Amino acid sequence: MTVLVTGGAGFIGSNFVLDWFAQGTEPVVNLDKLTYAGNPANLEPLKDSPAHVFVHGDISNRELVRHLLERHMPRALVHFAAESHVDRSVHGPAEFVQTNIVGTFALLEETRLWWEKLAPSERDEFRFLHVSTDEVFGSLGPHDAPFNESTPFAPNSPYAASKAAGDHLVRAYHHTYELPTLTVNCSNNYGPYQFPEKLIPLMILNAITRKPLPVYGEGGNVRDWLYVQDHCTAIRQVLERGRIGETYNVGGHNQKTNLEVVNAICALLDEARPHSKIRHSTLISFVKDRPGHDRRYAMDFSKIAIQLGWAPSETFDSGLRKTVAWYLDNPDWVAHVTSGTYRHWIEKNYAHRGEA
């Protein structure tokens, strides 16, 4: 038995693959395009494992996808591959449309064609699990109830719109072709191996190098933070016991403003790397907000809790402490990913925003 994973060298995907082998020995075929956020170093612990087969390729390459399905006959496909950064989608939406919509379509279509040729028992056992985001639901007001699985889609960024389109395609392939699909919509993930364009790793790395900590607006945007290991556990449970054709919201039950998050990081760094006269929070700078910045996300994950018994095991405090420690303990990984290309992106996105 084999599982095919797309995007398994990225942040969530690589954590999932590493966790998969920590839980068992079932082989994984890992298909990743290795864009800027896909990092083979994330998978270094598996370099000598014959059960982990890495394939450098694009989900939009239908011939390649067809070959992998026919050769490895996976019992499940777990689809992480995506462009995922809102700011990058504002600067260049075309890549998000290509990967998140066209790529997901190519993957679904090749999977359907292959799946329809299987024996009935094999068709019944197969699952296509699509990993999505809470951003497809849009933005909440300060006192609105959290998103649930019935919340209408209202995406506000090119990224969110591209993920919503992918979600719709997955739903359509189940209802039209009876492909056995599952969808997980998660809140903001954080943890080891996250590319430092996202808030938490960006702030950690800027702070330890005494660079400004750029916070959008007044820092009041609220996110529900989910430790990546808890997300991986949820995905495994949905894959094994989720109801075919349904979606599951996964959240951390940790609503924090961006400014609260940054201050918490600074406090942990003050503890881990104290400076006698200067606290890390003095590096905080407020910059012009990004266009269409959603005000608040929050997830109601009662469905997965009731049906599958899942709940997050990490609090925000415990998960953030582990995350800060990981970045401090892995300077070689950090040095590799914060290359000239990364520095150019940070300059492009933040340098000319000015004060909020």
Indicate which residues carry an active-site annotation.
Answer: 134-135, 159
Q: Which of 15, 184, 166, 11 is nearest to 85 (CA)?
A: 11
Q: Give the span between the Cα atoms of 51 and 273, in whole angstroms.
A: 40
10 Å Cβ neighbour count for 218?
12
Phi-psi group of 210: left, alpha or beta (phi > 0 → left; psi -120 to 50 → alpha; rest → beta): left
Length of the chain equals 356
Residues 6+ apart with CB under 8 A from 193: 11, 14, 15, 39, 42, 333
Asked if residues 16 and 5 have their Cβ atoms less than 8 Å apart, the reply is: yes
Q: Give the span between the Cα atoms of 249 and 83, in whole angstroms.
A: 20
Asked if residues 13 and 7 have their Cβ atoms less than 8 Å apart, the reply is: yes
Q: Encode 106-139: b = buried (16+ Cβ within 10 Å), e = exposed.
A: bbbbbbeebbeeeeeeeeeebbbbbbbbbbbbbb
- Exposure of 219 by Cβ count < 10 A (0-12 exposed, 13-18 middle, 19+ buried)? middle
Helix axis angle, 258-272 relative to 199-208, nearest 10°? 40
Give bridge partners of residue 213 from the DSSP assignment: 284
Q: Which of 11, 2, 1 is nearest to 192 (CA)?
A: 11
